[in-house]
Structures are given as structure tokens and as C-alpha cells.
């Protein structure tokens, strides 16, 4: 378990081992004593200044990376222009509201029928507390945030191969998982299984910790009783008056928990990117794109499809089609920050080094489908006390998420009815949008039979492989492509530098796009001053 | 519309999946994977970038080219070596080469995919 090469492990090693297995608070204490673990590379907004008089930068793409680049470079004294394919700022930071029309590649068009204030976030939908760059600019640009509920103990877990296919509460499953693992570890100690790993004194300490962590009884067993029910819930909850006494609930068998893969599920919530506290903008993730858009108002040429990027003759010239008029135009500047997603950039005639062109062509894009289902009532809150959070399933929809906004209000709410990964994304994306909605509704009803389909009002589905401005979700790097191409992709190529989530190690997150942008413009500015 | 229904059925439990009368073995792969981008009619699409039309596509004349693209990826298109078997890759290329206005002769086999395919680049980070 703990490999110390024969010597007795240190206390920290023991605590670390416990942390890996689930006793994260112990691990945290150990880490805290060593100073906090660094969780961001953000050092505050860049202090760029002193651009050469008249120097100009052309920014391609009005997503978060592009708009941040434009904002900071303008403040540094550059003349800035942005070209954007869409008719709105934000890029993948985007919310669909009632009254919106979305047309995907292939021509399928959806009219969003949500009630006022309701939305689907087709792209990013949650913000970790340690994404300091994004949080900084949200505050600076006046984006109101509210908590995003990631982990909800009352939410459900469905696995077609366990519990007879009946969804169970996360609270019960997680409690039973910890309890069973604690019991097994205590048994291993009693069976002298850890004698070579731990000194006697530490074995005793660990057993005491396991008793509290796993709610073990006096025989070090995880058993049915009021003690375990305190965590997993009661068959009859505590109340007042004559029937106030609680009745204990019965834990699940450990084999069922293994069949349902509960360990993986518990681990999901432990990931750094999913830890408490998480945020979302009030009114939809698209509020961030709008707020950034306000900062660069007047700098953006919308409806501009870039077709060629040239950097000969001591300048960067982008050729683009003005989509409204169909006319071909050019935009010219001394330098260029290009945030066009790599899949699309790989199809644009680009005057750059062979190394950069190879890097751009080497990174494919992932796919995912998100479906928003508007329900007439918030039955999950009213009937089941589920406020926000995620219910998981092994079906292709993978999960449904209850809205974290407008909790405990009356009226309709939008459930994220599918967030697909892997092969399921392709299967879903190949369906017409109304079919995606129908299948998502069908699959999600496993959580709330009798109420899910019955309360359904309308839905919208976004398949990222058919999103006209990205051709996919996010850049998919692997170890080989990172090694071969990442540094080249990030390097300033004469007068052009790339930025976006694809030029970061925080791929697929807004934070990655912003940190990439800040790094790119800092280097570009230096290059411009040295020129 | 019929094809849509078949695909929708693919999500249902196997007991409910009605198997049509001897379809081309590559059709299921096309419907469940390729169609997500290349569209049901294989005509692709154009937005800020473009999705290649497989319908009437001269690059399909020699199987080596589509084998290279499907196994190795191209631009935004991920590689499918590893997520599809060589047989499935051979089937779907064979299917596209004789459908959507394509009339290319010659069978595409798993052995050909093994021979000229790009090795799986390994697990993605994400």
C-alpha cells in the first residue's frame, strides 16, 4: 500500500495514503501544515504598457481569450480590432434563452421555448473557486456569480447493472462506500496485513481514525444502526412528539457498491476541478461573454469569416468574408492574436512556419452533446428535496443536472438532461435535435418516473460536432502531441501568436483560455517592444 | 426518417432493437459515428470551417486515403483507431465507397486497415 522501501513510513505518508483512499480532510491537514498547495498560475492582470505609438494588433475570435487579449492590449496602448464569425461575443461561453434561434451545421434550426430567465449552457457551466483569472475578470467586469451545486447528497445514482436498475441516493452510496472501505482496512490491520507498513502506535491511531471516518461500531464493523443512519439517512427520520424516534436504515451490500462503480463516482467529486466552492453566473454562463463583449464594444467586427492569414511585408493581413454582404474584405495590423479553434484554423490558409502548421493540424477536437429540458414545475425540489447537483447514470446521457439558479422558486426550471462523453456523443449528435431531446427525456425519466416526461414542456439540444464556429468541443491533446507540438503551438510565430484553451494545460476550461491569452499577449508585447 | 428511427432504436435495450433485413455492416457505424459530423446524407457542411462531404468524394477512390484519415484523424476529426475495430473501420469505409453517389469497386478489409492504418496514438488526456 505505502511503498517506503522497507523503512517505517512517516506520519505524512500514512496520512497521504488515507487521503488517496478518501479521508481527504486528513490529507488536507497534512498539506496545510506545509503551506497551501498552489492552485493557479494567475498573478493578477498583466502590467502591459508603453506600446509603440500607432502599433496595432488584429485579434481573431471574440471568445474569452480573444476579448481578454483585446482588452489588455488596448489598455497597453495598441490599436485593436477583432474579427468574429458569430454575431455575438463569447464563443463557446454561451447561453441559449427563450426566443433564441440556433442553427447547427447541416441546417437543423431550433427555436428555444424556455420561459423568461431560463437557459441552457451548451458549453461551460461551472467555475471552480481556484480559477482565479476568470473570477478576477468576472469581478472586474461586473458579472454577478452565485454558487453552483456540484455535489448533492440527495441526488441520485442509476446503474443498470446494480440495485435492480433502481436509482439510489448518493448520500447512502457514499456513506456505505466509506464505511465498507474503513471496515476492510480495519480488518486488514487486525489480520496483520499492515504490520510491515505501519508501526504499532500508528496502526492504533489509524484504527481510531477509521472508526470515526467509517462510522464503525465497537466491533469495527459497518453495520445497520442509528450511528450509520446519521450519515446515510433513516428509514424513518427523526421527528417531534410520540413518533419522534428515528428508525435506522439498512446499508447496501459492498458487492452492489462495487457493481455500481461507486468508487469512481465518489472520486469524480474529489477532483480539484469539482471541489467546493463552485460558481456560475447569475442568469447563465453567457453573461460572462456579454460582459467581456461590453469591454471591447466597438472593437469587434461580427459576422466575419476569416479565410486567409498572411504575414508578409511586415504586417499581418487577414482576409475575411463579411457574412452579411458576402463581400471579401481584409483587415491589417502589425501583430495578430489568433484564437480560432485549431480544427478550423487547420482549414484556413495560414502563412506561418511549417512547425506551427504541423502543430495546428495535429490536435483533434472532442465531441459532446448537451440537452436542456424545461420542466413545468420544480418537482425535484418540491417532491424530493433535490436542490441543484447532479444525478448520474450509466446510460448515454451520463448525467442530469438540476438548476443551481432560482432554487426554491415557483414555476418552470431547466434541467441539463444530457451531457455526453465518448461514443455516446457521436450517437446523439447524429440524431436530429428533436430526437436528441426525446431520447434524453426517455433516459432521464429513470430518475423521476411518473414526473419527468409528465412535466416536460420543451427542450433544446446542442451537438458540438455540429457547432458552426468550433467543429467540436475542445482540443484533445495527448502525451505524444504535447511533447511534439505544444511549445511550437504557443510560441510567437513572427507576428502571430495563438491563444485559447487549446494553448493551455487547462483544456476545455475558460480559465485555460484566459491564462493562455495573458501569457500570449505578454510575450507578443515583449516581441513588439524588441522589434 | 426511417434511418433516424433505426438510430433512435440503437439507444433502446437490445431486446427492442429491431434488426433490418441484412443492411450493409458499415451502415450502423456510419449512423452511430460518422453521421455526427458528416451528416445523414454525407454532404458535410460549411460554417466557420467545413466538414468534408463524403458524398461523391473522389478521395475515396483508393481505400488507403480514407483508412489513413479514419485511423489517424485529420484536423478537427479525431482518430478512431482504438474506439472502432479494424473490421468496423473497413466496414464503414466500404459502406461509404458504394453509397452517397460513390461507386468505387473493390472490397475494404480489416487486413487492409491493419496494413495501411495509422497506429493508435494512445489515450487522450481528457
Number of residues written out for chain A = 531
Neighbours of A171 (CB within 10 A): 17
pLDDT value, residue A531: 84
Half-sphere exposure of A27 (CA within 13 A, CB side): 11
Neighbours of A240 (CB within 10 A): 6
* Mean of pLDDT values over A15-27: 45
Instruction: State yes or no: pLDDT of A88 exceeds 50.
Output: yes
Which chain A residues are within 8 Å of B76, Cβ to Cβ? 341-344, 346, 364-365, 471-472
- The strand ranges marked E within A251-382 are 278-281, 300-301, 304-310, 316-322, 327-333, 335-338, 349-350, 369-375
Crossing angle of helices A510-530 and A64-75, rounded to 10°: 40
SS3 content of chain B, % helix, strand, coil (to 5): 45, 5, 50
Which chain B residues are within 8 Å of A105, Cβ to Cβ? 37, 39, 45-47, 51
Strand-strand pairing, A369-375 and A79-83: unpaired
User: What is the least distance, in Å, from the CA of A52 to any CA of chain B?
Assistant: 33
- The strand ranges marked E within A159-222 are 168-169
Q: What is the pLDDT of residues A175-220, one digit of tens each?
A: 999 999 999 999 999 999 999 999 999 999 999 999 999 999 999 9
Instruction: State yes or no: pLDDT of B4 exceeds 50.
Output: no
Cβ-defined contact of A508 to B126 (cutoff 8 Å): yes
Please work out, in degrees rounded to the nearest 5, the angle formed at the alpha carbon of residue A239 by the alpha carbons of A237 and A244. Answer: 100
Please work out, in degrees rounded to the nearest 5, the angle formed at the alpha carbon of residue A466 by the alpha carbons of A440 and A371. Answer: 20
* Distance from the Cα of residue A396 to its chain's centroid: 18
For residue A304, give the chain B residue with the closest CA: B48
Query: A425, A365 in Cβ contact below 8 A?
Result: no
Out of B8, B39, B48, the one facing A469 most closely (by C-beta) is B48
- The strand ranges marked E within A105-158 are 109-111, 119-120, 127-128, 145-148, 156-158
Record the cell numbers describing residue A508, joined without a space: 476545455
Query: What 3 state SS string does B17-39 have?
Result: CCCCCCCCHHHHHHHHHHHHHHC
Cβ-defined contact of B124 to A476 (cutoff 8 Å): yes
Neighbours of A39 (CB within 10 A): 13
pLDDT value, residue A496: 98
Which chain B residues are within 8 Å of A60, Cβ to Cβ? none
Distance CA B97, CA B89 (A): 12
* Distance from the Cα of residue A182 to its chain's centroid: 31
Give the 3-state secondary structure of residue A370: strand
Record the cell numbers describing residue A402, joined without a space: 438540476
ipTM over 0.85: yes
pLDDT value, residue A1: 41
Number of residues written out for chain B = 126
Q: What is the DSSP string of B82-110?
A: TTB-HHHHHHHHHHHHTSTT----S---H
Out of B10, B73, B121, the one facing A427 most closely (by C-beta) is B10
* Distance from the Cα of residue A427 to its chain's centroid: 22
DSSP label at residue A253: P
Q: Is A372 exposed, middle or buried (0-12, 13-18, 19+ CB in 10 A)?
A: buried
Record the cell numbers describing residue A82, joined without a space: 477583432
Q: Tell me the pTM.
A: 0.90
Q: What is the pLDDT of residues A357-391, one digit of tens each?
A: 999 999 999 999 999 999 999 999 999 999 999 99
Instruction: State yes or no: pLDDT of B19 exceeds 60.
Output: no
Give the 3-state secondary structure of residue A378: coil
pLDDT value, residue A503: 98
Please work out, in degrees rounded to the nearest 5, the angle formed at the alpha carbon of residue A423 by the alpha carbons of A419 and A425. Answer: 35
Q: Which residue has the cell 433502481?
A: A166
Element (H, E) at A109: strand A109-111
Q: What is the DSSP string of A220-237?
A: S---SSHHHHHHH--SB-
Q: How far is CA A230 from CA A233, A236, A384, in A?
A: 6, 12, 19
Distance CA A90, CA A286 (A): 7
Q: What is the pLDDT of residues A492-526, one digit of tens each?
A: 999 999 999 999 999 999 999 999 999 999 999 99
Instruction: State yes or no: pLDDT of A356 exceeds 50.
Output: yes
Q: What is the pLDDT of residues A277-320, one digit of tens each?
A: 999 999 999 999 999 999 999 999 999 999 999 999 999 999 99
Distance CA A152, CA A380 (A): 12
User: What is the least distance, in Å, from the CA of B78 to any CA of chain A?
Assistant: 5
Cβ-defined contact of B76 to A342 (cutoff 8 Å): yes
* Mean of pLDDT values over A146-157: 98
Q: What is the pLDDT of residues A221-280, one digit of tens each?
A: 999 999 999 999 999 999 999 999 999 999 999 999 999 999 999 999 999 999 999 999
Query: A459, A112 in Cβ contact below 8 A?
Result: no
Which chain B residues are within 8 Å of A61, Cβ to Cβ? none
Amino acid at each position: 500500500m505505502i511503498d517506503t522501501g522497507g523503512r517505517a513510513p512517516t506520519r505524512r505518508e500514512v496520512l497521504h495514503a488515507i487521503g488517496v483512499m478518501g479521508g481527504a480532510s486528513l490529507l488536507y491537514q497534512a498539506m496545510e501544515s506545509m503551506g497551501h498547495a498552489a492552485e493557479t498560475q494567475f498573478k493578477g492582470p498583466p502590467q502591459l504598457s508603453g506600446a509603440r505609438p500607432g502599433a496595432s494588433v488584429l485579434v481573431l475570435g471574440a471568445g474569452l481569450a480573444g476579448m481578454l487579449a483585446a482588452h489588455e492590449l488596448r489598455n497597453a496602448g495598441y490599436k485593436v480590432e477583432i474579427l468574429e464569425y458569430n454575431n455575438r461575443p463569447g464563443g463557446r461561453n454561451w447561453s441559449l434563452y427563450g426566443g433564441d434561434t440556433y442553427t447547427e451545421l447541416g441546417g437543423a434550426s431550433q427555436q428555444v421555448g424556455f420561459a423568461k430567465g431560463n437557459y441552457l449552457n451548451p458549453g461551460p457551466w461551472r467555475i471552480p473557486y481556484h480559477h482565479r483569472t476568470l473570477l478576477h475578470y468576472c469581478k472586474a467586469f461586473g458579472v454577478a456569480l452565485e454558487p453552483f451545486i456540484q455535489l448533492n447528497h440527495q441526488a441520485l445514482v442509476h446503474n443498470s447493472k446494480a440495485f435492480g436498475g433502481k436509482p439510489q441516493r448518493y448520500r447512502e452510496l457514499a456513506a456505505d462506500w466509506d464505511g465498507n472501505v474503513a471496515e476492510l482496512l480495519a480488518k486488514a490491520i487486525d489480520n496483520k496485513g499492515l504490520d510491515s507498513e505501519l508501526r504499532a502506535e500508528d496502526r492504533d491511531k489509524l484504527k481510531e481514525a477509521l472508526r470515526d471516518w467509517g462510522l464503525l461500531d465497537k466491533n469495527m464493523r459497518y453495520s445497520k444502526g442509528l450511528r450509520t443512519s446519521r450519515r446515510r439517512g433513516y428509514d424513518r427520520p427523526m421527528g417531534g412528539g410520540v413518533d419522534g424516534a428515528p428508525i435506522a436504515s439498512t446499508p447496501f451490500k459492498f458487492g452492489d457498491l462495487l457493481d455500481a462503480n461507486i468508487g469512481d463516482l465518489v472520486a469524480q467529486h474529489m477532483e480539484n476541478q469539482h471541489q467546493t466552492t463552485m460558481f456560475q453566473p447569475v442568469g447563465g454562463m453567457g453573461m460572462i461573454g456579454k460582459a467581456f463583449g461590453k469591454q471591447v464594444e466597438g472593437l469587434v467586427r461580427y459576422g466575419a469569416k476569416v479565410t486567409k492569414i498572411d504575414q508578409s511585408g511586415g504586417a499581418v493581413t487577414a482576409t475575411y468574408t463579411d457574412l452579411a454582404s458576402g463581400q471579401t474584405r481584409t483587415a491589417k495590423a502589425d501583430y495578430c492574436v489568433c484564437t480560432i479553434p485549431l480544427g478550423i484554423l487547420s482549414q484556413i490558409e495560414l502563412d506561418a512556419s511549417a512547425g506551427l502548421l504541423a502543430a495546428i493540424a495535429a490536435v483533434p477536437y472532442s465531441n459532446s452533446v448537451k440537452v436542456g429540458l424545461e420542466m413545468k414545475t420544480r418537482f425535484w425540489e418540491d417532491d424530493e428535496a433535490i436542490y441543484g447537483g447532479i444525478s448520474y447514470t450509466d446510460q448515454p446521457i451520463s448525467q442530469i443536472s438540476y438548476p443551481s439558479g432560482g432554487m426554491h422558486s415557483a414555476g418552470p426550471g431547466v434541467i441539463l438532461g444530457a451531457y455526453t462523453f465518448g461514443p455516446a456523443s457521436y450517437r446523439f449528435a447524429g440524431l436530429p435535435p428533436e430526437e436528441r431531446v426525446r431520447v434524453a427525456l426517455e433516459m432521464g425519466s429513470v430518475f423521476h418516473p411518473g414526473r419527468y416526461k409528465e412535466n416536460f414542456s420543451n427542450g433544446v439540444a446542442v451537438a458540438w460536432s455540429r457547432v458552426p464556429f468550433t467543429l467540436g468541443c475542445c482540443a484533445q491533446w495527448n502525451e505524444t502531441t504535447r511533447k511534439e507540438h505544444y511549445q511550437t503551438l504557443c510560441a510567437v510565430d513572427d507576428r502571430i501568436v495563438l491563444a485559447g484553451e487549446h494553448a493551455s494545460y487547462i483544456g476545455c476550461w475558460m480559465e485555460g483560455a484566459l491564462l493562455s491569452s495573458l501569457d500570449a499577449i505578454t510575450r507578443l508585447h515583449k516581441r513588439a517592444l524588441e522589434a | 426518417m426511417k434511418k433516424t428511427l433505426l438510430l433512435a432504436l440503437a439507444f433502446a435495450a437490445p431486446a427492442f432493437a429491431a434488426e433490418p433485413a441484412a443492411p450493409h455492416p458499415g451502415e450502423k457505424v456510419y449512423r452511430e459515428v460518422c453521421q455526427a459530423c458528416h451528416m445523414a446524407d454525407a454532404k458535410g457542411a460549411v460554417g466557420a470551417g467545413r466538414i468534408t462531404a463524403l458524398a461523391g468524394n473522389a478521395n475515396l477512390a483508393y481505400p488507403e486515403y480514407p483508412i489513413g484519415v479514419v485511423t489517424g484523424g485529420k484536423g478537427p476529426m479525431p482518430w478512431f483507431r482504438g474506439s472502432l475495430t479494424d473490421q468496423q473501420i473497413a466496414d464503414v469505409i466500404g459502406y461509404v465507397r458504394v453509397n452517397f453517389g460513390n461507386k468505387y469497386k473493390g472490397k475494404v478489409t480489416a487486413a487492409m486497415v491493419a496494413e495501411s492504418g495509422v497506429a493508435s496514438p494512445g489515450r487522450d488526456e481528457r
